[in-house]
Every structure is written in C-alpha cells, then in structure tokens.
Structure 1
Amino acid sequence: MQVIVRRPHKVFLILTGILVIFYYVYTNASVINNRRERLEKENSTSPDYINEEYNVWLIFTKVYNGSPLTYKFKELLDNLMTISTVPLNFNIIVDNSSQRMAENFILKQMSKSDKNISYTFYNIISSAKLVEDIVDVMSNFFSKPGSYYNDVLFYISLGLHRIAPASQKYAILLDCDIYFKKDITLLFDQFKRFKKTALFGIAPELSPVYRHVLRSYRMKHPNTTFGDYYHWNDIVNPNSTHSHGFQGYNSGVLLLKLDSIRNSESYKSILNKSTLKKLTEKYDFKQGHLGDQDFYTLLGYEYPHLIQTIHCGFNRQLCTWWREKGYRDVFDYYARCDHEVVILHGNCNTEIRKDYNYSYKNI
C-alpha cells in the first residue's frame, strides 16, 4: 500500500515564516525599546512630572490697600490664572494682614475660572527663622547698611529649599512686577534643559549694573569678561567659559531644583562667611546691594556648573535707569534681547506696555 505524505502548502509555509519573523522582530524591538526607555530614565535630568508639579512661589508682605505691590500682586494672579494651561500650586509668603488680602484676591479669581488652582500660605516670621543663618552671612556682603535689600525677604530664595515642603522638587519664584505674555508651561519646561549639576535657572541681567559694581576689579583685569556685555557676533571657542561676556543675572524670575539644592554639598560649602569673603574680595565686590541677585551673579561666574542660564525672553527687563547714569554708550548692548518674549519684567517701577512688542528690540 502506498503511503501518501502530504506536504504543507507553500502559501502556508510562507505565512508561517512571516509570522515567525514578525514575532522575532516585535519581541526584540520591545526589548530594545524597554532598554532604551530605562537608560533614558536613568540618564535623564528632566523633571519627574508624575504628579504635574507646578509650584509657583510669591512674596507678598508689608502691604496695604492701594499700595503698588498690592496692585502688582493682583495683576500677576489674574495674568497667571488667565494665561496658564496647567494646574498651578501657589505658595505665598505672607504676614497676617497680607494673607487676608491675598486669599480674597485668589478666591475672587477662582470664582471666575474653571481652572484647577491650589494655594498655601507661609508666614514670614516662621519662614525667616528657617533661613536666618543664611541671611546673617549674606547681609555682610550683599547689602549696604540700611539698604532696602537689607531684609530677609531678599535672601529668602537662597533658603527656599528649607521652607518648601519636602514633597516639592521643583519651584519657580517670581517677583510681582512681571507679566506673562505666554503660558508659564514654557518656563517650567526649562527644567528639562537643566544640566545635571545645575541647581538654579536664571536669566541675564539686562543692564550694566555689574559693569558698574565691578569697575575696580575690571580696571585691574582689563581682559576680564565679568561685567562685560555678551558679544553676540564674536568668533569664540565654544568650550571657553563666559567667552561671550558675562552681564550677571537678574533674580526676578528664578527656577529652583529644590531636591538638588537640598542634597548639594557644594552649595552648602559656599554658604559660609569665609568662602563668601574670599569670593567678594577676589572680585572687589564691595558695593553689592541687590540681595540674592548679587550672590547668583558671583555664583554663576565662579561656579557656572551650578547655574542654568535661561534666555532673556523669560525675564525681559524693561528698566532703563542705568542708561542715564553714565552708560548711554553701552546700555543698548546690555539691554539687547534676541529671543521671543515670554515674560515682561517692569523692574524699577517701569510701566509694562502689555501690547507692545519688545521682541528683537532694544528698550
């Protein structure tokens, strides 16, 4: 009897082969993708926004009905709640009287909005106790006696990591005299650009104030870039530190990587009297008067790895005071900003013309 052996049909064999190949490719692709995602997560410096952490910090103290700060604070709240697309968590440092005013402003705005907003108040007296050692050190170097900036409020950013809840990893501290032309999400996205060593994100100072403060040092070191404006068209070594000039920083908009600050031994070692004495003496920095801003400027020049410079469009300062104080010939070089404006900053009580296009212009 003849045994007939039936062979699989060619089409069946081809389909089986395709399925085997597809399974192999899919399995290996999944393994590769999983491995890539794991490596990216391990090497990433981007924020872990699992809980969408949008912490905005404001200081609102020593106010009264009709005071300029009261108006600016209310305007900023309205602006943020109107233009922001993310659930903001406001953290506001207050005294007893200002807390009532702030809460009234927030509740009134929330009643007109369907956005998810939360807020927490921090008493200035309790907050000050948490940073008093930092203030004691800083006021020796960055405040003139009786200065407006000789106040705990103007050093509070340096110890905000102590005041903020341990659950907060990222925060943005804002002056009240600013106006957002675009969504604050763009500012929070800057955390994703932080180099691994950066603790703070801050934009350049757009005036020659540090050219003035450092004039003694600059006379002794004519080739320094410290206090000089950015030379946009120079051909420079891209690996050279501050080779474009270094105008200093403006602390009206400040990004803080709180967990990194809490864990930074380098930062702790800088916040002591002997280190700051050496640093200020090195640069003949004898006329500091802008509080934490002076510290961030020295920090950025001496320890650039601790600062992430964000572009000027995130803090487009409008003050022209220094133009008429002997610096008319160079003022426009400092004030130049070639980035699209996200935030306008009406520093030194400058009016903010909200509909005016400050982009790519001198002020």
Structure 2
Amino acid sequence: MHQRPSTSKSKVNIQSSGVKAKQKGLANPTKGRGKKSDNMSFRSSKRNCNVLSWLGSFTKLLVVIGSFVLCVYIYDKRIIYGFAEEAGWIAPKNDRLKDFFQEDQLKERVQSKQPNNIYGQKLNVRPSSVNDAIKHDTEVENHVQNTGANQEVDNNIENVANLLAAGHNEKPPHYHVLQVLTNTHQKTHLKTRFVVCIRSILSKASINLHFFFVVDKPSEEFIIECLQQITDEGIARSHFQFTILLVENLGRQLLPHVGDLQAQLQGSHPYYRDAIFFMSLGIHHEILPDDVKRLIMMDTDLKFMTDIKQLFDLFEDFSDENVLGIAHEQQPVYRHLFSLFRSQNKGTKVGDPPPDGLTGFNSGVMLLDFDKMRGSEAYREILRVDFIQKYSEKYHFKGHLGDQDFFSLASMEKPELFYVLPCSWNKQLCVWWKDKGYSDVFDMYFNCPQPIHVYHGNCNTPIPH
C-alpha cells in the first residue's frame, strides 16, 4: 500500500545545496525546521509581487480611462461619437443633438448681441467627409434697451444650422454670400432651382464660403436637408458654413432703414416682409456680423459654370467711387418703364441698350462693398427720400421690382456708384419682353458675346444643362 502523504506544511519536498529529502513528508526534523522560514519568506515575496502587479494593471486602466475622458473633452465628442454611432454603441444623432451644444453658451452669445444682430452661431464645415447636419433651435426671450425704452424682442428664435467638421476647426471663411428662399412649401419648383444653384457653387468653389440664408420655417428645414445631402455626397470642394436668418425677423430690422424709400418708390404702405425686396439698400447697417466686409447677394435661380472666387475677384476692379457691382438688365424692361420720359426727351440714353445706354440693372447678382457703402457721401445721398422723390418725378418712374428699380433709377443720376458686371456673370435667360413690342431691339439687350460664367433662369426659364 502507498503511504498517504502528510498534509503538514512543514513536510514538503525541498532541494537545497544538492541534497534531496530521503522520503516524501519524512525529511529530517532538524532540516525541515531550517527550511520552513525560507519557504514562508518565498511565499511572502510572491504575494507582494502579485499585489504590485495588480496595482500596475489598475494604474494602466486609470490611464486609459483618463485618456478617453480627455479625448471626449478636447474633441467635443465628435470623433468618438461618430465611431460609437457606427458601431451601434450609442443612440442615433437625433437622440443626442443637445450633447453638441451648450444652451447656456448660446443664450449668452445671443443676449450679448444688439437687437439688430439676429444671426445664429457659425461653425465650419468639412464637406469632404460624411458628417452630421444638425439643427439646434434655442428660443431666447431677450430684453434689450432701444432708444431709451425697454422693448421685448418677441421670443427671438435663434436658428443654428451647422455642418460639423469631424474634429477639425478650420479658419473662418472670408467670402460671404446671401440668398433668400421662401415659400418652398407652396412653390416646389423653387426647391429644384435652389439645389441646382447651390450644387453648382459648391462643386466648383476653391474658397471657403459662409452663406446667409433668409428663409421662412418650411424653407429652413429644406435647406438643412439639402446641405446634409450635399455633405454626405462629398460634392463640395472647399469648406463652407451657413447661418439661418428668419425672414420676418430680418424684415423688422430692415424696415427702419428702407421703409420710406420703399413707400416712395412703390407708392404703397411699407410692410416689413416686403422690406426684404429692398434688403441690399440696408443690409450694411450692422445687421450681419462685423467680419462681413464684402457680400455677394444672389438669387437662387442661378447656375454657376465657374469658380465663384472669380466673381469675388471682381471687387478688386471697383473704382474709388464704385460701392456695388451689378449687371445690366438684359431685356428692354427700363426702356418700357422710362417710356414717358423717353418720349419727352428725344435722343436720351435713358433706357437705351448697352454699351452706351443707361440700360438699368438686374439684381440677380450683386457685389456689395460695405465699407464703401458706409463711407460714400454720394451713396448716402441716393438713400435720402427727397432724392428718390425728386428723380421719381423727373423720370416719371414708378417701380415694382424692389431694389433693382431703386438702383436703376439712381444710376440715371449717379452712374459712378455702380461697377457694371460683365453680362457673363448674370446671363439672364428670360425673353418675356421679346414679343411685347420690342422684337426689333430685343437682341441689343439680350445678346452676350462672352463665355458664360453664371446662367440666370429668371421668369422660370429653363437653364441649359
């Protein structure tokens, strides 16, 4: 029978100095006692090693967790949320929109502005990557002091529509564009035209752009969806950002600057929403952010065939007197509107076709130099009601086309204020006036012998593919 090994801790197999115990569990008592302390010391050292190893692992874990938290803080959760959402670890973006913005910071930004600064927060866009298009509306009741009396800005809704760059904060763009888009829920063809326009701009632009979109609520939702799709498809060549301006809020801000001129030119009581049609006259009155020095205002029924940077470059061609750039009207519109004056003043150039005539303008594309507009005494003169009253009577003129009528009338007396854009930067396609008694002179207005940079599908005219 095999002898059962002893469970006594002192009776273990020990090999020391080349001498091995003769029997398992039956080592020399004296020798066993001598080795007991050595064995306990060994076990104690091993325990200490295990504790140190555990502490090292725990420290590494803390470092990893700390690094993760730091990344979340530095990158504002954009990169990490992007990976986490793709992996299905977190909820989709619509369930966590407010994680991207601090409402208190936005309210502080809004309340720090004067009441006529109604623009929203701006963020850069990296269109080459697939990013979230996020709309974040913050309703702020902002009490401001205006002309010595407290006025309540009625529940000013700050619309912040942002395309977020994945962890990139680029230098803010310096090229600003403004477009008006309303009533898309009633006139669906406006959506199609806007898509053609914005895609043609972004697919060719070599510069960073900042768009200001003047919209109603239905059109705001459409624009955000449209720009999200453009971003997802990677159409844009450069960074862009945009700011939403609600048409009614902006109209209220413009009315004090343009209301009297509007009433004088159109002969009707001014309504704040209609002030939008005279926006170019008053937009330089500290309504947009301070960094906007030059602005291109354009219709949405355009198609760019060329990099918009080349259009911005035309600002450099302004003379000292030029405050804005605008193209001639390419139909005999003002030949007709000035017809009474022309009949009484034979040989006048008023309403004549280019290049020598005072043709009148089309406001589909306009270049506004804010500093020159603010600093020009001649420009301030044409903004006076008595100026418009005097020359409306002189030329027997009553307009109906908003700011382009105003500038056309003013150009009869102050042509030096206007840099005439080449016809190729606003090639109007409408031919409505051709069969209205002007077929014999129509082509003198309509023809543009230059390579076309921008098509303008006014009068709902189809734009060439």
TM-score range, shorter chain: 0.7 to 0.9
1:111: Cα distance to partner?
Answer: 2.2
Q: What is the alpha-carbon distance in structure 2 between the residues aligned to residue 91 and residue 285 of structure 1? A: 32
Could you tell me whether the CA contact under 8 Å between 2:293 and 2:371 is conserved in 1?
A: yes
Q: Map 1:10-89 to 2 at 5 A.
A: 53-64=174-185, 67-89=188-210
Mapping 1:119-198, distance limit 5 Å: 119-143=242-266, 151-162=274-285, 163-198=287-322
- Cα distance in 1, alignment partners of residues 446 and 179 from structure 2: 26
Cα distance in 2, alignment partners of residues 92 and 353 from structure 1 = 25
Where 1:179 maps in the other structure, the secondary structure is: strand
Cα 1:51/1:301, change in 2 over 3 Å: farther
Structure 2 residue identity aligned to 1:116: H
d(CA) in 2 for partners of 1:146, 1:342: 38
Q: Which residue of 2 aligns with 1:282?
A: 394
- Give the alignment of 1:93-132 within 5 angstroms: 93-113=214-234, 115-132=238-255
Aligned equivalent of 2:424, options 282, 300, 313: 313
The alpha carbon displacement at 1:133 in A equals 2.5
Provide the rounded CA distance (Å) in 1 between the counterparts of 2:435 and 2:352.
18
**Structure 2 residue identity aligned to 1:309:** V
Deviation at 1:100, TM superposition (A): 1.8
2:203 is the counterpart of 1:203? no
How far residue 139 of structure 1 moved from its aligned partner, in angstroms, is: 2.5
The alpha-carbon distance between structure 1 residues 52 and 301, as it changes in their structure 2 partners (threshold 3 A), is farther
* Match for residue 214 of structure 1 among 338, 343, 349: 338
Q: Is 2:436 aligned against 1:325?
A: yes
SS in 2 for 1:329: coil
Partner residue, 2:112: none
Q: CA deviation at 1:203?
A: 0.7
| Range that drifts further, 66-75 or 177-186 | 66-75
Q: Is the 8 A contact 2:173 2:240 kept in 1?
A: no
2:409 and 2:442 map into 1 onto residues whose CA distance is 21
More deviation in 68-77 or 183-192? 68-77
1:288-309 deviation digits (Å, cap 9, x = unpaired): 1111111111222211121111
**How many angstroms apart in 1 are the aligned matches of 2:255 and 2:209?**
29
**Amino acid paired to 2:420:** T
- 1:170–1:258 CA contact under 8 A, matched in 2: yes
**Cα offsets for 1:167-226 (capped at 9, x unmatched):** 111110110111011111111110010011211100111000100000110011111101
2:457 to 326, 346, 356: 346
Larger Rg: 2
Q: Is the 8 A contact 1:142 1:290 kept in 2?
A: no
In 2, Cα distance between equivalents of 1:228 and 1:110: 45
Q: What secondary structure sits across from 2:203 in the alignment?
A: helix
- Cα RMSD (Å) of the superposition? 2.3
> How far apart, CA to CA, are the structure 1 residues paired with 2:315 and 2:172?
15
Structure 2 residue runs of 5 or longer lacking an equivalent are 1-170
Q: Distance in 2 between matches of 1:142 and 1:105?
A: 36
Could you say what secondary structure the match of 1:197 adopts?
Answer: coil
Question: What is the SS of the residue equivalent to 1:302?
Answer: coil
Per-residue deviation, residues 235-261 of structure 1 (Å, max 9, x unmatched): xxxxxxxxx112111000000001222
**Are the aligned partners of 1:144 and 1:289 in contact in 2 as well (CA < 8 Å)?**
no
State the distance in 2 between where 1:290 and 1:54 align.
27
Amino acid at match of 2:259: D
Alignment check: 8 A CA contact 1:87 1:117 kept: yes
Query: Residue in 1 aligned with 2:52?
Result: none
Question: Secondary structure of 2:358's partner?
Answer: coil
Per-residue CA distance 1:255-301 (angstroms, 9 max, x = gap): 00012223334323322322110011111113x11111111112222
Contact 1:200 1:307 in 2 (8 A): yes
Query: Relative to 1, partners in 2 of residues 1:103 and 1:282: Cα closer, same or farther, differing over 3 Å?
Result: same
Q: Which moved more, 1:328-337 or 1:106-115?
A: 106-115
Higher strand share: 2
In structure 2, how many angstroms separate the alpha carbons of the residues matched to 1:124 and 1:252? 18
Residue identity in the other structure for 1:255: L
Letter in 1 for 2:308: I
State the identity as a percent. Answer: 35
Separation of aligned partners in 2, 1:128 and 1:66? 21
Task: Extract structure 1 runs of 4+ deviating beyond 4 A.
Answer: 144-147
Q: How many residues align?
A: 292
Query: Are the counterparts in 1 of residues 284 and 374 from structure 2 also a CA contact under 8 Å?
Result: yes
CA distance in 1, matches of 2:319, 2:454: 23
CA contact (8 A) 1:137 1:271 kept: no
2:232 and 2:377 mapped to 1: Cα distance? 45
SS at match of 1:203: strand
* CA shift for structure 1 position 96: 2.4
CA distance in 2 between counterparts of 1:159 and 1:351 reads 32
Higher relative contact order (CA 8 A, sep 6+): 1
Cα 1:141–1:328 shift into 2, 3 Å? farther
Partner of 2:360: 248
How far apart, in 2, do the equivalents of 1:142 and 1:154 lie?
A: 12
Partner of 1:41: none
Say if 1:142 and 1:292, in contact at 8 Å, map to a contact too.
no
SS of the residue 1:83 aligns to: coil
